């Protein structure tokens, strides 16, 4: 299930939802991303996130399908926030139910890596010195590419 939303989310409630989903789970891996105080520049005071409604959900659904082809994925949950976010706020959540630990870890990391380089989200850093659209990182592209090595 995929949610693109302005509102915050509760990782504990998301975990409980995955655990209680009846998906035959033996392992749950979750990842939560937060707004940090540095990115392309120092002194970041917050972020503004924009996305392409419709395409975003479609791309993430395809990533979940691809992860399900590669690993045992019983259930997947992806939340990504958009709009204005302050430091330490939660941006993104990925939760994966699997029969096995290694599949849960791998699927969770793959979806997170691929999401960063293929889902149409854009981050703008907000600081005292002004606003700055974040540039795509070669390291992020390399991480996504490494799944196909």
The residue ranges that bind another protein (CB under 8 A) are 33, 49-52, 54-55, 58, 80, 91-92, 112, 115-124, 133-136
Nearest residue (CB) to another protein, 52 versus 105: 52
CB of 120 to another protein, least distance (A): 5
Answer left, alpha or beta for residue 24, where phi above 0 means left and psi between -120 and 50 means alpha. left
Q: Which two tokens stand for residue 25?
A: 């789970």
Answer whether 121's CB lies under 8 Å from 50's CB: yes
- Name every residue whose Cβ is closer than 8 Å to that of residue 94 and which is 6 or more positions away in sequence: 30, 31, 76, 77, 78, 108, 111, 112, 115
CB of 62 to another protein, least distance (A): 10
Token look-up 């990391």 returns: 109
Nearest residue (CB) to another protein, 72 versus 125: 125
Nearest residue (CB) to another protein, 58 versus 102: 58
CB of 48 to another protein, least distance (A): 10
Nearest residue (CB) to another protein, 29 versus 49: 49
CB of 107 to another protein, least distance (A): 16
3-state secondary structure at position 148: coil
């Amino acid at each position: 299930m995929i949610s693109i939303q302005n509102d915050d989310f509760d990782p504990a409630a998301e975990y409980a939802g995955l655990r209680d989903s009846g998906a035959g789970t033996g392992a749950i891996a979750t990842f939560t991303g937060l707004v940090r105080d540095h990115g392309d520049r120092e002194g970041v005071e917050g972020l503004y996130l924009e996305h392409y409604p419709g395409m975003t959900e479609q791309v993430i659904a395809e990533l979940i399908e691809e992860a399900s082809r590669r690993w045992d994925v019983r259930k997947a949950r992806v939340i990504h926030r958009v709009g204005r976010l302050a430091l330490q706020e939660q941006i993104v959540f990925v939760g994966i139910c699997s029969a096995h630990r290694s599949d849960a870890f791998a699927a969770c990391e793959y979806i997170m890596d691929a999401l960063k380089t293929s889902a149409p989200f854009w981050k703008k850093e907000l600081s005292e010195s002004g606003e700055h659209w974040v540039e795509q990182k070669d390291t992020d592209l390399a991480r996504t590419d490494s799944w196909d090595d």
